[in-house]
Structure 1
Amino acid sequence: MTINISRFSGIVYRAHYPMWSYDPLSGNGAKQHGGRFNPPGCPALYLSLDPTTAWMEAQQGFPFKPQPMTLVAYEIECIKLADLNDERLLANLGCSAQDLSCPWEYLAAVNQIPPTWRLAEQLQRLEVVGILVRSFAAGCTATNQNLILWNGSDTEPHMVRVIDDFGMLPKTPESWTG
C-alpha cells in the first residue's frame, strides 16, 4: 500500500505532571497504559501544536480542577508522518474520522481492540513514525492538533529535541522527594 507521507518541522508542546518532567522524551507512560494511538507496550510521545491544546490534553482527567503542569516545548524535524486530517488518506487506510474518535479506553477495558490501535500498527508497518491528528480532548475542535510520535531520535530525519537551553528541567525523580 502506498500512502502520502508528510514532513513536519517546527515547535510543539507537551504539558507534563511536574514530577515526571525529568524525562520529557519518554513515552513510557503511554507505553505502560496505552493511549488513543498506541496499545500498552508501544511507546508514544503525545505532543500538541500549540500550548492550549497541550494543556487541554493534560487536564482530561481533571475537568473541574486544573492541576499543576510543566509546559515543555520540543523542536521537531520529522519526514515520515501521516496526516490523519486527510479523509482520503483515512479511506485508503480503511479508516474513518469516526474511528479516530472511538471510545478507545472503554473498548480496551472490555477487551476489544480499538480501531485506532489497529491503524497505528498498520502505519508503523509502513514505517511511518508518527501522525498529525486533531485532539479529542474535551473542549477541543478540529483546529486543536496533536503530533503523536512512535519513533524519534536526537538526530534527523526524525529529530525530537527538548528545548531547555538553560537546563531548568529536573534531571532525576529525586528532584521531587522531600
Structure 2
Amino acid sequence: MPELVDANPLTLWRAYVPQWSYLPLSGEGSARFGGRWNPVGVPTIYAARELSSAWAEYNQGFVQHPALIAQLELKGARLIDTTEPDVLREWGIHEGIHQSEWRSDLDNGAVPSTHVAHQRFVKAGVDGVMYPSFMSPGGSCVALWRWNVAGGPVLGIVDPEGRLPTSPASWRKS
C-alpha cells in the first residue's frame, strides 16, 4: 500500500466551469469525457498545487474562458508522486508518460499509457497521482480518483463565508 505523501493537509487549487459552482467536488465532467489520468466512466478531480497552474491547465493555453477558482484541502490521500523519477522507476513507468498524447491515443483506439498506469495504481489502493503540469512548467497537479468515501481521503472546499451556491438555482437560462 502506498504511503501518504504527507500527513499534513494538501492545499490544491481547482479551476472549473462557473455553471457548476454548486458542485466544486464533483468529478462527473471527467467521468463523462475521460481525462489524462482517468478513462471515461471514472469520476476524477483534477486540481493543481499552485493557483497559476490551475488557471493554465484549465485554459490549456487557448482562449481564456471564464472560470471559478476554488481552494481545496485534501487529507489522508495515498498519492503516487510521478514528478519523482525514482517513483516512476519503482513502478516501472517510463518518464515519457508525462508527454504522452493521451487524446490522440484514444482517437486512434489505443489505451493511453496514463490509463494503464491508472489501472495499476487503483489495484494497488492508490487514491490519486501527482504529476507535472503540462501547461505550467515547474507546476504540479493532482488527479484524485477516490475521495469522501468511507475509509478514503477527505477532500473539502475552502469556503469560510459560504459564498458558493448549493444548488443550480443561481443560474438562470438566458
In the superposition, the TM-score normalised over structure 1's length comes to 0.89
In the aligned structure 2, how far is the partner of 1:45 from the partner of 1:89? 22
Q: Is the 8 A contact 2:4 2:76 kept in 1?
A: no
Please report how far the alpha carbon of residue 79 of structure 1 lies from its aligned counterpart in structure 2 after TM superposition.
3.8
Q: Note the C-alpha offset of 1:88.
A: 2.0
What is the aligned partner in structure 2 of residue 102 from structure 1?
A: 100
Q: Aligned residue for 2:113?
A: 115
Aligned-pair RMSD on alpha carbons? 1.9
Q: What is the aligned partner in structure 2 of residue 147 from structure 1?
A: 142
Return the offset for 1:157. Answer: 5.6
Partner of 1:159: 154
Structure 1 residue 75, shift from structure 2 partner: 1.1
- Which letter does structure 2 place at the counterpart of 1:27? G
Whole-angstrom distance in 1 between the partners of 2:125 and 2:106? 25
2:45 pairs with 1:45: yes
What is the percent sequence identity of the aligned residues?
A: 26
Tell me how far 1:6 sits from its aligned partner. 2.1
Deviations 1:70-120 (A, max 9, x none): 111111112411110121221222212212220101101111000000001
Query: Letter of the aligned partner of 1:131 in structure 2?
Result: V
Higher strand share: 1
The secondary structure found in structure 1 opposite 2:38 is coil
Q: Tell me the residue number matched to 2:24.
A: 24
Contact 1:20–1:173 under 8 Å retained in 2 = yes
Query: 1:24 Cα deviation (Å)?
Result: 0.7
Q: Distance in 2 between matches of 1:123 and 1:155?
A: 19
Q: Could you tell me how far apart the structure 1 residues matched to 2:143 and 2:65 are?
A: 23
Contact 2:77 2:154 (C-alpha < 8 Å) held by counterparts: no
Aligned length: 172
Q: Which has the larger displacement, 156-165 or 72-81?
A: 156-165
The alpha carbon displacement at 1:5 in A equals 5.0
> CA distance change for structure 1 residues 157 and 32 in 2, over 3 Å: closer, same or farther?
closer
TM-score with structure 2 length normalisation? Answer: 0.90
Query: Residue 6 of structure 1: SS of its match in structure 2?
Result: coil
Q: Does the 8 A contact of 1:39 with 1:117 survive in 2?
A: yes
